[in-house]
Structure 1
Amino acid sequence: METKNVYIGYQDNEVISDLNLQFEAGKIHSILGPNGCGKSTLLKALGKQIQSTAGEVSFKNSDINTWSRKAFARELAFLMQVHESNPEVTVRQLIEYGRFPHKRKFERLNQEDQAIVDQAISLTHLVDLAERTVDRLSGGERQRAWIAMALAQQPAVLLLDEPTSYLDIHHQLEIIELIKRLNVEQGITIILVLHDINQAAMISDQLIVLQSGSLYDFGTPRKVITHSMLRDVFKVDAEIDSSFEDESISVYNFQLLEE
């Protein structure tokens, strides 16, 4: 997936300016930046939810505007920050919705579809909750159910908009570990928006940092997470620990910079 000189705006408000990015297949890419910098707008453009005002978003070397919505949904799944569904549907029924892009209108799910749904349920550790209604799930369980629905689409690319928002720390880590596991075990390319720098550093191969709708930096967590980036983009100072033997990095002791 790639953006080429992409501009995105709403009416007279330009949100994204001249953005050029390449998202490598099979990697996890996290989009970081302060509120209002264009993170969710970029994700929506990648997911064919909104159109760029100039430039091109391409997938598999083709402009995404040339893809039909159904064909695109067979390749890419997009989970927005706020999900809406009938609260009385069961977890299994919700996950079955992920098979719709692969079916003709009014065509029923067959044995192969049900096997794919079963696999999505197993991958997200929802076997014991499959017959429970969505309104009876905890926040973390509900998020896993929506991710399972996306997995039932069998996408090559999964887009996630702030998947850990509104969750306690236990469920945040549960979702972060699930995302990493799906990438490693299933080879899915994952592009997500996160607010937590340490969570992004924990799971990401590449970080994209936006500032006022423009690309500030792009690269590995160790390359991107620097004192100057934290000051310039987030207006904070912090300690950065990169002493780990692997490529891990940790940011702590945040302090606001004086205006």
Structure 2
Amino acid sequence: MKDRVTTPLGAVTLLLLLVAVGLGLSSPLDVNQGSLVRLMFVHVPTAWVSYLAYGGTGLFGLLYLMTRKRRWDRLAMASGELGVLFTVATIVGGMLWAKPTWGTYWVWDARLTTTALSLVVYGGYLLIRAMIDDPERRARVSAVVGIVGTLYIPINYMAVEWWRGVHQTQTLKLLGKVRFDAAPVYGWVLLAATIAFTLLYLYLLRVRGILAARDEAREERELMNDLQGDVSGLTPHIAGQGAQRGGAQHG
């Protein structure tokens, strides 16, 4: 079946990424941080997408447990991988922002620590998948781990409120009175960047899911070929034993 979604989605994603880059580079300098404020247009969207990806891992895992369809397991795996990828991007972007503003690349602030620990949580999820060979058992166990792992998302999000440190509070506050804690001039740029990165996640999720489906199909074909080879190898042996028994009876 011809894929009518992936290529157009990729094209729209690329276009919006270019628009976001253009808006970001043309945005005015911040009074205090100067051009460093533009790191926000990458740092905040990658953090958002990491939450989205980890939530997707739990959601797809739940859908697998409800339906037992392998498609959901593949998407859960893909979303977990993308969550780790975007978390690394969030940490790297934050370190580049921290050095000129805090004077160091890293401090054991609550938000930084919980973000780093999310790599441990979902790195463990991917490790569990790699350690279990049986596909059905791997899907069941990893689905449960992925669902439990989603409980970590609000902990990471609220870390700056519960344990105040050097990290600023949320740029976009979603609890209580929703508000955007940044200059209004940056709001549209950040919105465009967030939409672009969200579409990038969806595009990469779809591509990774397609590749995983192809890998599964190839493994199943190889398994069937191995089984057919074993059966073919046994057939002459069984026929030979039958001929020997027949000759013995005639003798």
- The interval holding the TM-score normalised by the smaller chain is under 0.3
- Greater relative CO, 1 or 2 (CA 8 Å, sep 6+): 2
Is the helix fraction higher in 1 or 2?
Answer: 2
Q: Which structure dedicates a bigger proportion of its chain to strand?
A: 1
Q: Which has the larger radius of gyration?
A: 2
**TM-score relative to the length of structure 2:** 0.27
